[in-house]
Structure 1
Amino acid sequence: MTTKAELAERLLRRFKGVPNFLLTDADELVDDAMQVHGFASSSNVPESDTNLILLYAQAEGAWQIALATAHYFSYQDGEESVDKSNISEQYRKLAQDIRGQYEVEKARKSGSSFFVMKRIDRS
């Protein structure tokens, strides 16, 4: 059994390179993920559900960062240029990748899955 605090610490380690991502952020994401999966925030999570909770929280965290950085921009002033416009897109792609991993883990745990393949003639 894993406590909420242990899950938050593990999530914080996964986001260690993200500026301004604090333990309180990790705690809120884990709390939300636990509630979505039917666990009270005061309860412990079985080891079999730990990865599922962490993947969900990690994907939600990446989505939140993508939303928070969506206003970033690029500018050029003479020889100086700054381009932060792609940061949100990269976090959005990361969130989609993690969500895919979450769906695979969820399907493995439940024993059923459903995927819609992309049409090859359309992108």
Structure 2
Amino acid sequence: MSINSKSPDLLSPGYWNSTIRMSLSKFFILCVLCDRDLHGYDIAKEVINRTKGCCAPKEGTIYPVLKQFTEGGYVTYETETVSGRERKIYTVTDKGREAFKVGLGEWMKITQALNDCVSMAEA
């Protein structure tokens, strides 16, 4: 039997890491914006700091997510000019804060399920 080269390598930590990070990026972007208004680069730095490097969204991830959040009314932005360059400063809305709370509740359920799995794996 041949192995399909497109099949994910479930034995690879990299596979699991990238799968988990994709989902966590949106959550942590909202998380850091709940603390204070930030522009895209600082959002990325703050997510990295907050997660101790476990989640490190790149520009290709952050800006599409911020666009999605803006279109959904979860964040707003104001444009400012710094050293001749325009940048957007993002602010979470009340709807975004509520979305963060909902997301947190769902991640806590997952965390409990993961803890249960650890118990089973150790048995």
Provide the TM-score with structure 2 as the length reference.
0.33
**More strand per residue:** 2
